């Protein structure tokens, strides 16, 4: 599953406080339905791991509060018949499950939620249950029979009904326009534990089974599932579609989509049919994704030395979709903005995001679908590999995009989250289904991908690929744990993979390596890095790379101890003789760790940076490490500003993207730490970024690179944010022309966000013209990407979250527009609307977005205490970890503020740098 990337870098709001004077009234939210219950649930502490086989005796209560379903019975095959009603937004169904009973028991225990099950219809073979008990808190249905069930295979049947909900999970409804009218489509989203909301099932990844689906739908609609249609029977307004039986797969990968669609198609080199389904009239926007999809299937077939096992692979654009995309076997579902690309209305960053998302989901067809994690503890095996593989694939298709340099975005995102005490190991124990959604985060995705990148760099690309192919072949159509992967890699390469990688997957965090010169040696000391300034107990086996004076003299070794010594004389020679001496650890950022250099090493590296001796990746690594060390109060902000000044005139997109992140972070913290100096700090950042921005200008140039096209809006947006008058005025000028001529060449898709933000600089409660013009653009735009650009700008949009103007899936984009000037008002809004938020987004991971967007805007311990007190009685397992991480970030910012306040030479440094020619 791909995270929601669209609009993730939503624009800040410059005048949010003034806008709140004109906030609209809050509309009513949606509801939530639960399953008809034949028993009482209770909140009981649960334990990890599958229970042991249960004897025939005992009561149903023994299955309450268990983390895993018992293993004494397992499904082998599902025959599922569903009848969705797209007008009433309900569905009915029948399921017949071939169940293998392997131990003595009189119970069958499976999952169900939000369903009404017809008790009278339940049969296992000819036996009717004497007990039907539902534990609501656990989504567990227990069927008790009067006598011990026979060993071997039998069929469990039952009828059920449900609602096509509006929660973007389970079997739900999405709205779309067809011939001017709003219609409903039916969509499934089952990862992680929501297949149980569509049909009773063993809803855990280890319970793989074959699926044979039958759908009854209106005759004029398109109905898709994992497999091709085997037969169709039409009876008036209803048609019955029977689909081919699937291979063995987990319940979370079952998929159904019913609606009005059109498609385009292509074929891979070995004949697999690939289609892109869209709303009617949009199929041409699927051409780019189709091309990437066909190429991805061919590449992965060769990389894993295993063919794609299904006869077809469909991609479908869904108007309402919580994630970025979902890798359902043979039927991948996407947000529209993550699948569709239009040259006239889409940005270059959207094009890249579509390529990454398609490649991510297609890699899951092997890493996730064919070979599936045994339990959610091993989620990273799915998501870490898909994140890494997507960069490998897109780099192969578009080498000019420098995807491995851009990959450092993933690494730095993970390093930031993993430097919190409230982080978690890659292999995280899951004690209850309600905890699973929280681990779809930067640890499972980006840290997972980063340690794979580190391991591949250590083992070598060819050895790594061959070992992965062996792993896929060994565990095809079954399940695997992290240890299984290490065992295969170790056997194939002869390297101590398990000992090395276990230190990275079973403990949270990562080290900072302190490097000091001692004669002709370098002393290395690793400690666990935490942003709060403390150091944890962790020790890692670290694949260290080092370079000295040039990139053709590299060393690799494993740092296995807390302290060690690296002999650099043979690599560097006598450093006293060479004025250009420098040495760099973690060459090109392939390792998941930070480096803190002593003063001599740091000065030499800064000189190498200024004299353009360093690679793009190392330019990024140095500034990101320095930023983190400053936040942790291990380095002064003044020294970080001096380092940033070395990047003036830098022209590379990836490097400037990181410079942009660091400068934005400093600009925000300076509001609290040095309010009198905040304006000068912004002027310094304008000085650093203005030269490359002026070279690119506002207008695209013939033949310019993809990366320059992405760099232009990045720089213009940042200059507007920092208050650069000339850029703001030009943005307003172009927007005014755009409002009268939407096809003007003066404001192409890539630069519209910058212009929209510029317009907002002049908006106030007494001058709403710019805001009203933006709302008009939003309402009149039919393109999802255009609407998202506007959403991220307007704080007044917060209240639109509860109206039909904003789809639930886009709530987090609105939240991304909250700037720190508006934080107090946004926090009050969050408190006042919390009950409505909880109701509208009940059970959804989207609830976490509200916490993550607003809470970390603060930087005082007093505010941390206030927020903690508010949530003391309102926290649920679905966002508990996110809340703790957000509060920790508030406390880290508070400590950073105090550290900056105590710097005696900060103002002098800022003015000195501003005064340089």
Token pair recorded at residue 666: 């400093």
- The sign of the CA dihedral 815, 816, 817, 822 is positive
Report how far residue 280's alpha carbon sits from residue 275's, in angstroms, rounded to the nearest whole number: 14
Q: With 0-12 CB in 10 A as exposed, 13-18 as middle and 19+ as buried, what is 500?
A: buried
Report how far residue 211's alpha carbon sits from residue 250's, in angstroms, rounded to the nearest whole number: 10
**Cβ(202)–Cβ(251) under 8 Å?**
yes
Q: Which of 191, 204, 336, 361 is catalytic?
A: 361
Classify 472 as helix, strand or coil: helix
Token pair recorded at residue 200: 């009773």
Residue 832 a catalytic site member: no
Q: Over 17-59, what HEC string results?
A: HHHHHHCCCCCCCCCCCCCCCCCCCCCCCCCCCCCCCCCCCCC
Token pair recorded at residue 597: 């250099």
Cis peptide before 274 (omega within 30 of 0): no
DSSP letters, 369-402, are TTEEESSGGGHHHHHHHHHHHHHHHHHHH-GGG-
Counts of helices then strands in the chain (DSSP H, E): 28, 29
Q: With 0-12 CB in 10 A as exposed, 13-18 as middle and 19+ as buried, what is 710?
A: buried
Which residue, among 195, 310, 333, has the nearest Cα to 258 in the 3D structure? 333
Residue 733: Cβ within 10 Å count: 15
- The pairing of beta strand 511-518 with beta strand 542-548: unpaired
Q: Give the side-chain half-sphere CA count within 13 A for 422.
A: 16
- The pairing of beta strand 115-124 with beta strand 152-163: antiparallel
Report how far residue 646's alpha carbon sits from residue 662's, in angstroms, rounded to the nearest whole number: 14
Report how far residue 808's alpha carbon sits from residue 175's, in angstroms, rounded to the nearest whole number: 11
Q: With 0-12 CB in 10 A as exposed, 13-18 as middle and 19+ as buried, what is 320?
A: buried
**Cβ(334)–Cβ(316) under 8 Å?**
yes
The residue with tokens 């169940």 is 99
**Cβ(22)–Cβ(768) under 8 Å?**
yes
Classify 195 as helix, strand or coil: helix
Report how far residue 732's alpha carbon sits from residue 738's, in angstroms, rounded to the nearest whole number: 10
Q: Roughly what angle, to the nearest 10 degrees, separates helices 497-505 and 448-459?
A: 160
Residue 704: Cβ within 10 Å count: 12
Rama region for 421: left / alpha / beta (φ>0; ψ in -120 to 50; rest) = alpha
Residues 289, 295, 298, CA angle at the centre, nearest 5°?
Answer: 140
Classify 241 as helix, strand or coil: strand
The residue with tokens 């735009």 is 781
Report how far residue 210's alpha carbon sits from residue 815's, in angstroms, rounded to the nearest whole number: 41
The residues annotated as belonging to the active site are: 361
């Amino acid at each position: 599953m791909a995270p929601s990337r669209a609009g993730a870098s939503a624009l800040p709001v410059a005048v949010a406080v003034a806008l709140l004077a004109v906030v609209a009234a809050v509309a009513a939210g949606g509801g939530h339905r639960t399953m008809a219950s034949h028993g009482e649930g209770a909140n009981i502490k649960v334990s990890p791991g599958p229970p042991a086989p249960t004897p025939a005796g005992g009561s149903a209560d023994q299955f309450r509060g268990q983390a895993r379903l018992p293993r004494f019975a397992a499904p082998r095959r599902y025959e599922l018949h569903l009848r969705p009603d797209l007008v009433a937004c309900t569905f009915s169904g029948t399921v017949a499950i071939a169940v293998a009973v392997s131990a003595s028991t009189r119970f069958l225990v499976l999952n169900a939620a939000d369903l009404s099950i017809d008790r009278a219809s339940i049969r296992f073979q000819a036996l009717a249950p004497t007990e039907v008990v539902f534990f609501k808190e656990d989504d567990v249905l227990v069927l008790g029979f009067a006598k011990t069930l026979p060993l071997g295979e039998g069929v469990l049947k039952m009828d059920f009904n449900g609602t096509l909900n509006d929660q973007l999970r389970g079997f739900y409804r999405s709205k779309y326009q067809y011939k001017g009218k709003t219609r409903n489509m039916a969509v499934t989203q089952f990862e992680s534990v929501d297949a149980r909301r569509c049909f009773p099932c063993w809803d855990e990844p280890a319970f793989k089974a074959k699926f044979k689906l039958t759908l009854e739908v209106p005759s004029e609609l398109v109905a898709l599932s994992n497999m091709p249609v085997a037969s169709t029977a039409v009876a008036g307004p209803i048609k019955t579609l029977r689909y081919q039986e699937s291979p063995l797969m987990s319940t979370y990968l079952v998929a159904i989509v019913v609606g009005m669609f059109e498609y385009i198609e292509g074929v891979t080199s070995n004949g697999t049919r690939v289609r892109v389904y869209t709303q009617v009239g949009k199929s041409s926007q699927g051409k780019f994704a189709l091309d990437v999809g066909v190429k991805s299937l061919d590449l992965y077939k060769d990389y894993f030395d295993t063919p794609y096992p299904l006869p077809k692979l469909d991609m479908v654009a869904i108007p309402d979709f919580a994630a970025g995309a979902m890798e359902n076997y043979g039927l991948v579902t996407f947000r529209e903005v993550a699948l569709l690309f239009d040259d006239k209305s889409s940005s270059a960053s959207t094009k890249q995001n579509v390529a990454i998302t398609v490649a991510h989901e297609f890699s899951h067809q092997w890493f996730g679908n064919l070979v599936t994690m045994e339990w959610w503890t091993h989620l990273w095996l799915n998501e870490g590999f898909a994140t890494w593989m997507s960069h490998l694939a897109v780099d192969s298709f578009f080498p000019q995009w420098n995807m491995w340099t851009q990959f450092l975005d993933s690494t730095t995102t993970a390093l930031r989250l993993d430097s919190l005490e409230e982080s978690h190991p890659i292999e995280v124990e899951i004690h209850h289904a309600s905890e699973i959604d929280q681990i779809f985060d930067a640890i499972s995705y980006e840290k997972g991908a980063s340690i794979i990148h580190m391991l591949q760099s250590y083992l070598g690309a060819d050895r790594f690929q061959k070992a992965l192919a062996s792993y896929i072949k060994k565990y095809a159509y079954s399940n695997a744990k992290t240890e299984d992967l290490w065992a295969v890699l170790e056997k194939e390469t002869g390297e101590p993979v398990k000992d090395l990688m276990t230190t990275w997957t079973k403990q949270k965090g990562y080290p900072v390596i302190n490097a000091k010169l001692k004669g002709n040696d370098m002393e290395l000391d690793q400690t666990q890095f935490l942003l709060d300034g403390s150091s944890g107990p962790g020790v890692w086996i670290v694949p260290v790379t080092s370079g000295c004076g040039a990139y053709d003299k590299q060393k690799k070794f494993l740092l296995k101890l807390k302290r060690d010594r690296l002999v650099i004389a043979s690599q560097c020679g006598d450093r006293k003789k060479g004025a250009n001496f420098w040495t760099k650890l973690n060459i090109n950022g392939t390792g998941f760790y930070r480096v803190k250099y002593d003063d001599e090493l740091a000065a030499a590296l800064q000189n190498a940076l200024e004299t353009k001796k360093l690679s793009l990746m190392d330019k990024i690594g140095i500034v990101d490490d320095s930023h983190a060390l400053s936040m942790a109060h291990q380095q002064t902000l003044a020294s970080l500003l001096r380092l940033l000044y070395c990047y003036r005139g830098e022209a590379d997109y990836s490097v400037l993207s990181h410079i942009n992140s660091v400068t934005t972070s400093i600009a925000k913290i300076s509001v609290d730490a040095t309010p009198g100096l905040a304006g000068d700090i912004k002027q310094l950042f304008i000085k650093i970024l203005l030269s490359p921005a002026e070279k690119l200008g506002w207008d695209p140039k013939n033949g310019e690179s993809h990366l320059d096209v992405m760099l232009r809006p990045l720089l213009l947006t940042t200059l507007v944010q920092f208050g650069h008058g000339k850029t703001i005025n030009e943005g307003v000028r172009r927007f005014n022309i755009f409002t009268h001529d939407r096809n003007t060449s003066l404001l192409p898709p890539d630069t519209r966000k910058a212009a929209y933000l510029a317009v907002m600089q002049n908006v106030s409660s007494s001058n709403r013209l710019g805001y009203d013009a933006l709302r008009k653009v939003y309402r009149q735009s039919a393109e999802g990407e255009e609407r998202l650009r506007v959403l991220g700008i307007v704080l007044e949009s917060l209240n639109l979250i509860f109206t039909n103007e904003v789809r639930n899936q886009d709530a987090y984009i609105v939240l991304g527009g909250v700037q720190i000037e508006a934080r107090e008002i946004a926090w009050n809004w969050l408190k006042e609307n919390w009950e409505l938020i909880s109701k509208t987004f009940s059970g959804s991971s989207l609830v976490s977005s509200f916490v993550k967007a607003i809470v970390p805007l603060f930087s005082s311990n007093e505010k941390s205490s206030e927020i903690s007190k508010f949530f003391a009685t309102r926290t649920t397992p679905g966002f508990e970890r996110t809340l703790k991480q957000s509060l920790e970030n508030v406390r880290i910012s508070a400590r950073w503020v105090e550290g900056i306040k105590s710097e005696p030479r900060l103002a002098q440094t800022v003015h000195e740098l501003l005064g340089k020619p």
